[in-house]
Each structure stands twice: as C-alpha cells, then as structure tokens.
C-alpha cells in the first residue's frame, strides 16, 4: 500500500533537515581537508536582470549549473521540474501540450502559463513552447513566487530562466550519442569558436531524438506515443568594442508524436485504475514546428547599462485523434467521432531596459516591454467513417483569430543599508496592459476587451555574517484574462491576481560545505483560472474560481559529506483551499484543480577516481509526489507517487560513458485526468492520459 501524503511529508522534511546539519558533526581527515573539494560551488544568477550570487537574492530560487544539468541527466523540461519542489509538469494531449503547476497555480490549455519562461532574455509567450529538449545549456534558474515587478504578466507563480551556452573565443564543443529501450536514439552536438578572434564569435548546436513509444494502444496493438524531435540553434556574437555586444540567435524545432492517447475509465476508482489501457480505434498524431529569432544589444558604461532585446517566434501545431476514445468492439453502436485542431501563433516582442552599476550601494533598473501576438485556432470535430484519419468527415468548424497587444513599464530600486550593508531593501513595480481582440472566422463577429494591473513588490533582507540571509517579501502577480472560443460559454474568463506574503532564508553552513535554503508563504488568489472540456461540443473551456487561499513551505539542501560525496534534497508543501467557488457555497474548503500538496526529491551522488584520468560517478534520486486533486469537487484524487532515477558514469576530461534509468520502479500514473462531470463525456466515464513509464538507456559523450 502506498504511504499517505501526511506520512511522507514529515519523513521528507526530517531527511532534508538532517542533511542540512549532517556535516557539522563529521570531522575531516587529512586526505579530505582540501577546501576546494569541500565547498559548495557558488552559482551566479540573473534572476533580477543583473549578475548576483544565488545566496544573496531574496527570492526562492532553484538553480542548475551546466555541470549539474549534465550530471543529473536533465534532457528536457520534464526532467528539470522533477528536481524542483512545489512544481509538477504533466505532458499530455499532443507533443507540444503540457500542464505546469507552480505552488498550486496551473497551466491553462489555450491560454497563458502561470510562470514566465525566458530563454536568453526572450519571453516565451505560448504554452506550446515549454516542452522542449534541453541541450548545450549553461544554466537554468527556477524562481518561485510572484515575479511581476520584473517579469510581468503571467509570472504570478514564478519565472524560469533558461540560459544557453554562449559563443566562445576558443574552439570547443561536444558530441553525444545515446540509445535506449523503445528503439530510442539520441544525438546532440555543439561547436563554438571565433570567426574573427575577439570580435565575431559563433556557437552552433543541434539535437535529434526519437523513440517508438512506450504506451500501447491495445485495440490496434501499436505504440500510441512515438516521439521524434529535431532542434538546431545558431548563435552569433559581435564585439565591436569593450562596452558593446551584439547577439543574433536563431532556433528551429520540428517535433512529431502521438496525440489523444486517453483511456476511457469507469468512474469508480478511475484515477488510480491502470488496468484499462488506451484502446481507441484511431491512432492519433501531432506535429509542432517552432521558429525563434532574436537580436540583443548590450552596452555597458561605467555607471549605466543599456539592454535592448527583440524577439520573434512562430508556433504551428496540428493534431488529429479519436473523440469517442474507444472502439466499435468495446462499445457497439456508439457514434464514431474524431477530433482535431490547427494552431498558428506568431508574436513579436521588444524589451528595453536601463540598469545601474552592479556594485553600487544604490542600484536601479527601469524598462519598457511590448508584445504583439497573432493567434489563429481552428477546432474540428469529425465523423469517423472508416476508422482512419483519412476517413474523417468534418461535422462543423470553430474558428478564431486572436490579436493581442501587451505593453508594460517596470522598475526596481535596491538599497544596501546599515553600517556594514547588512540590510537591504528592494522596491519594484510594473504596470501591464493586455488588449485582446477575437474574430469569429466561421460565423463572423468581433469582440474586444482589455485587462491591466499594477504589480508591486517590496522585499526586505538582513544578513548578519554573510553566511545566513533572511528576507520578507510582499508581491502581487497578474495573469491576463481572455476569450474562450466563439460559441463557447462562458464567452470570456477573468484576469487572475495573487497577493503573496513570503518569508525565507538562505544559508551557507559548515565552512561552506552545506547550502540550506527555505521559504514559507501565504497567497490569496482572486479569479483562479482552471480548465475543463465538453466533448459534445468539442469545447475547451477556461473558467474562474472566485477566491482561493494557499499556504506553503519549501526547503532545499545540498551538502558535501566527504570529498566526492554529496547529498541533496528538496521538499515542498502547498495547501490550496477554495474559499468561494462561484458564490453558491459549493466546494468550499476543497483543494484547487491539479494541486499536488506535497513534492520532494531526495538523492545522493558519489564520485571516485579509478585511474589517473578516469573517475566513476554514481547518482540516485527519488522523487515523491503526494495526492493530486484533479477537479474542484475533489472526487478524483490520484494516490501518492514515487519515481526512482539512477545514473552510473565513467568520465574523463574528454569522454564519458553513462548508463541511466528514469522511473526505474515503473510507477503508473496519469499525467492528466478528466472525470465525466468536468470532461463532458456523454458515456458517463472518465478519461485518463497515462504518464511516461520506465525508460533506460546509455549515452556516450566526447568533448573537445
């Protein structure tokens, strides 16, 4: 029997706390006294738009360096968030679709994310971009809590900064080849150097990944989740002077895979019933193409810096699949239906900001932002005439063209106070306005609405000796409202706002051998946005919950036990309570949709030289998730989950050979779940989209 959330939570907290204080009682031997081997590496982050030590920033941040990304085997965004507390990610529906939930605030299909995702300074405005392969990455910073003052709209849950590796003067690069079960193949490569020494630098990188799939459609006896992704990236850096840098960056991604691989389940115990596999008579497919281009100008003077970033993105996604989610053998006489969507989104963004010197006692940032989005979406229910996608006959069309214009002004002031600058005060604010226009491309008609908000942030920090810092923050977050598809009720959804109170600490203990950080928060949410579907009208609907109250806790630790041996852990608890669902008194006291009350990751890594040039590296980590509440009525709840991951590597400066496994215990779970009430399923049954099962493989990497 699986342990309950409330039995797992104290155990994980106790384990994390024990790791944080473990080293204070472990004496060093003479062979282990080298401080270079027993000091936690400093991580420099740009969470506040300037370079700072992670431990000096009064924000709850989980950061991953390039070495940590490689050693942890982080290949994609799902791997990344599995190592971060109070964040979960479910991949479902299509190859580009995902539902990220941060501190209880969840992704909404066809709408905005609860976090701002930024790659090399460019905001990724569409949810279909988030699921991507991570290769040739310098650093990832996961910020939690409202970040509206600097990141703006849709960062009410936090922000994710992804920084790719930059062009270098010296010739360098790598080549990785890997293989695994399900006929998986992975290739990744990067090369960097100078075209004109010290003046024109380049970096080119690419990734290819494919596998046959691991989830079987038992009716067709075929894998329902094949996957193939090809991504290439080119980065040029021009250095005309010591103070001026010009960057050009482009990336193209082509992804193909399965779609609509849901199992039709009985309502009794469905959320934990894994005996019924997908058995649709139509094998769905999806295709996603993403093109990114950006230009960055950065000028740094003695007391002032100027940054200007222009970004352009186009996202196209097409999918087709089953709509009755079954087959004529299981349900004779059922009306055979199919479904599909065609999405085309393009957007242009411009950010300009001025920044004071990083080392001044008084620092400031001021800037402006503009985003123009053109989003077209056509939704089509089909009559399934012969059990194939080729035999689909459209029943009707729902078409929409959305033109959105967003603009913002923002600023932040930072003061070092006290005789020894041991106090610090940050004052920030941002005004965002989102103007939305929707045209019904099938029936005609035009509607317009605007949403705006001011997002202030006040943070006070105190550090007594440079090793322990405490902070308290008040911040507001804002996610824009918008329109549902034409002919859908409700016709629009309201803007979502959060008011967050947070206290936290960051500490470096045991002579630098332990990094131990934590935060506690209370968040009030107005107009909580959530997602449901109506199968009969092929509708994807965004609605609001009037009032929600959340409170939570997060702890993160990294401890160097001995030379070459580290332990790490994170634990998060998020309680989200519905105070007012819709004014009728329903569901008061319930958890919000998709909330996972408890998350934790505990693990250890051990490295040891085996020759003068070769080393052995072994790593084990265990991810724990508590109960997941799928809908506001809390009638469908997924039990606790445990995922075991492990890696064994043999490494030298040029080569590495790695054997890895993910979800080694083959935990069964649903990445997405709809019951009959919230899924609009006429059969009165539930729908479950299975999560990724066990996968194993081997990688070889060559560096030069």
SS3 254: strand
pLDDT over 90 (residue 311) = yes
Provide, rounded to the nearest whole percent, the portion of the chain with pLDDT above 70.
94
Q: What is the pLDDT of residue 667?
A: 96
Q: Is the pLDDT of residue 570 over 50?
A: yes
Distances (CA, A) of 445 to 290, 350, 372, 399, 442: 30, 30, 21, 11, 9
Q: Which residues on adjacent β-strands are paired with residue 456?
A: 429
Q: What tens digit of pLDDT does each residue of 200-237 get? A: 999 999 999 999 999 999 999 999 999 999 999 999 99
316 — pLDDT class (breaks 50, 70, 90): very high
Q: What is the pLDDT of residue 598?
A: 96
| Lowest mean pLDDT, pick from 200-204, 279-283, 331-335, 666-670 | 331-335
> For the stretch 297-309, what's the b/e string if a residue is b when 16 or more beta carbons lie within 10 angstroms of its beta carbon?
ebebeeeebbbeb
What is the Cα–Cα distance from 608 to 615, expressed in whole angstroms? 6
User: Which of the residue ranges 12-16, 388-392, 402-406 would you say has the lowest mean pLDDT?
Assistant: 12-16
Q: Which residues contact 10 (CB under 8 A, 6 or more apart)?
A: none
Q: What is the mean pLDDT of the chain?
A: 91
- Res 418: pLDDT: 83
CA distance 379 to 244: 47
Sequence-ordered list of residues with C-beta below 8 angstroms from that of 538, at least 6 positions apart, any chain: 323, 339, 379, 380, 381, 398
Give pLDDT, residue 6.
42
- Is the model's pLDDT at 352 over the cut of 80? yes
* Length of the chain (residues): 704
The whole-number average pLDDT for the span 624-651 is 96
Residue 217 near residue 277, CB atoms below 8 Å: yes
pLDDT of 565 higher than 90 = yes
**Alpha-carbon span 179 to 697, nearest angstrom:** 5
When mean pLDDT is compared across 9-18, 453-462, 667-676, the lowest value belongs to: 9-18
Over residues 130-162, the pLDDT tens digits come to: 888 999 999 999 999 999 999 988 899 999 999
Nearest 5 degrees, angle CA 445-CA 450-CA 455? 160
What average pLDDT does the segment 348-363 reach? Answer: 93
Question: Could you tell me which residue, 134 or 98, shows the higher pLDDT?
Answer: 134
CB–CB of 117/124 below 8 Å?
A: yes
In angstroms, rounded to a whole number, what is the distance separating the alpha carbons of residues 414 and 168? 32
Task: List the beta strands (DSSP E) in 120-157.
Answer: 122-123, 137-144
**Which residue, among 76, 75, 153, has the nearest Cα to 115 in the 3D structure?**
153
* Rounded average pLDDT over 19-25: 48
Q: What is the largest CA-CA distance in the chain?
A: 81
pLDDT reported for residue 23: 46
Q: What confidence score (pLDDT) does residue 537 get?
A: 66
Tell me the CA distances in angstroms from 621 to 15, 71, 192, 436, 644, one per residue in order.
13, 12, 33, 44, 6
Predicted pLDDT of residue 112 = 85
- For residue 421, the 8-state DSSP code is S
Encoded tokens for 357: 């010197």
Per-residue model confidence as pLDDT tens digits over 466-494: 799 999 999 999 999 999 888 888 889 99
Q: Are 152 and 326 in contact (CB under 8 A)?
A: no
- By C-alpha distance, which of 446, 50, 389, 470 is closest to 220? 389
Residue range 175-190, pLDDT digits in tens: 999 999 999 999 999 9
Contact, 321 vs 687, CB < 8 A?
Answer: no
Q: What are the residues facing 314 on neighbouring strands?
A: 291, 346
Give, in degrees to the nearest 5, the angle at Cα 142 between 106 and 44: 170
- Can you give the pLDDT at residue 37? 63
Cα–Cα distance measured from residue 130 to residue 678, given in angstroms and rounded to the nearest whole number: 25
pLDDT category of residue 369 using cuts at 50, 70 and 90: very high
Read off the pLDDT of residues 228-281 as tens digits, 9 standing for 90 and up: 999 999 999 999 999 999 999 999 999 999 999 999 998 777 899 998 899 999
Domains of the chain, by residue range, sit at 5-40+174-703
CB 139 within 8 A of CB 328: no
| 22: pLDDT strictly greater than 70 | no
- Would you place residue 538 in the very low, low, confident or very high pLDDT band (cuts 50, 70, 90)? low
Q: Which CATH architecture has domain 5-40+174-703?
A: Beta Barrel (2.40)
Q: Is the pLDDT reported for residue 607 higher than 50?
A: yes
Each residue's pLDDT tens digit, 101-118: 999 999 877 778 899 999
pLDDT at 110: 72
User: pLDDT value at position 488?
Assistant: 83
């Amino acid at each position: 029997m699986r342990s309950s959330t409330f039995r797992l939570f104290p155990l994980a907290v106790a384990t994390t706390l024990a790791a944080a204080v473990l080293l204070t009682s472990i004496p060093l031997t003479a062979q282990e006294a080298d401080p270079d081997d027993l000091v936690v590496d400093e991580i420099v982050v740009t969470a506040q738009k300037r370079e700072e030590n992670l431990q000096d920033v009064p924000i709850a941040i989980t950061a991953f360096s390039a070495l940590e990304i490689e050693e942890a085997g982080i290949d994609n965004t799902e791997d990344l968030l599995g190592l971060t507390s109070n964040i979960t990610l479910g991949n479902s529906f299509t190859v580009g679709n995902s539902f990220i939930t941060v501190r209880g605030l969840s992704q909404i299909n066809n709408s905005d994310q609860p976090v701002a995702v930024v790659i090399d300074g460019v905001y990724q405005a569409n949810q279909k971009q988030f699921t991507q392969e991570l290769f040739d990455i310098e650093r990832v910073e996961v910020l939690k809590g409202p970040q509206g003052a600097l990141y703006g709209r849709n960062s009410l849950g936090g922000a994710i900064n992804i920084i790719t590796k930059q062009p270098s003067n010296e010739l360098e690069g790598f080549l990785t080849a890997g293989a695994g079960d399900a006929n998986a193949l992975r290739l990744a490569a990067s090369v960097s150097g100078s075209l004109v020494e010290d003046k024109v630098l380049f970096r080119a990188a690419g990734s290819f990944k494919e596998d046959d799939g691991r989830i079987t459609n038992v009716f067709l006896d075929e894998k329902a989740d094949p996957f193939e992704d090809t991504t290439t990236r080119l980065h040029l850096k021009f250095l005309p002077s010591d103070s001026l840098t010009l960057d050009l960056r482009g990336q193209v991604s082509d992804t193909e895979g399965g779609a609509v691989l849901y199992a039709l389940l009985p309502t009794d115990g469905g959320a934990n019933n894994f005996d019924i596999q997908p058995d649709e008579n139509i094998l769905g497919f999806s295709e996603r193409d993403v093109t990114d281009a950006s230009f960055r100008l950065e000028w740094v003077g003695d007391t002032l810096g100027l940054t200007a970033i222009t970004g352009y993105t186009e996202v196209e996604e097409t999918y087709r699949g089953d709509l009755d989610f079954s087959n004529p053998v299981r349900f004779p006489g059922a009306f055979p239906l199919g479904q599909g969507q065609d999405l085309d989104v393009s957007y242009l963004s411009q950010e300009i900001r001025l920044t004071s010197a990083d080392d001044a006692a008084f620092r400031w940032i001021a800037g402006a932002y503009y985003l123009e989005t053109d989003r077209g979406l056509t939704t089509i229910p089909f009559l399934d005439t012969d059990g194939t996608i080729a035999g689909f006959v459209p029943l009707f069309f729902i078409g929409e063209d959305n033109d959105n214009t967003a603009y913002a002004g923002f600023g932040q002031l930072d003061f070092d106070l006290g005789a020894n600058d041991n106090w610090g005060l940050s004052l920030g604010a941002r005004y965002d306005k989102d103007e939305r226009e929707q045209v019904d491309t099938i029936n005609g008609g035009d509607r317009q609405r605007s949403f705006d908000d001011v997002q202030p942030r006040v943070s006070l920090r105190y550090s007594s000796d440079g090793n322990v810092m405490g902070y308290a923050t008040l911040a507001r977050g804002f996610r824009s409202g918008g329109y549902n598809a034409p002919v859908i009720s409700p016709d629009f959804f309201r803007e979502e706002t959060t008011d967050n109170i947070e206290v936290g600490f960051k500490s470096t203990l045991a002579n630098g051998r332990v990094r131990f950080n934590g935060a506690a928060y209370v968040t009030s949410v107005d107009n909580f946005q959530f997602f449901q579907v109506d199968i009969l009208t092929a509708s994807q609907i965004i609605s609001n919950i009037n009032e929600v109250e959340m409170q939570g806790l997060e702890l993160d630790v990294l401890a160097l036990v001995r030379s070459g041996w580290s332990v790490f852990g994170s634990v998060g608890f998020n309680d989200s309570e519905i105070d007012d669902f819709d004014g009728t008194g329903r569901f008061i006291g319930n958890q919000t949709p998709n909330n996972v009350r408890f998350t934790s990751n505990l693990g250890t890594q051990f490295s040891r030289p085996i020759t003068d040039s070769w080393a052995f590296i072994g790593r084990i980590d265990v991810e724990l998730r508590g109960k997941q509440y799928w809908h506001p009525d809390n009638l469908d709840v997924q039990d606790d989950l445990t995922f075991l991951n492990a890696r064994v590597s043999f490494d030298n400066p040029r080569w590495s050979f790695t054997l890895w496994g993910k979800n080694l215990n083959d935990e069964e779970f649903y990445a997405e779940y709809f019951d009959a009430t919230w899924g609009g399923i006429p059969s009165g049954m539930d729908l479950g989209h299975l999560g990724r099962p066990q996968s194993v493989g081997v990688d070889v990497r060559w560096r030069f």
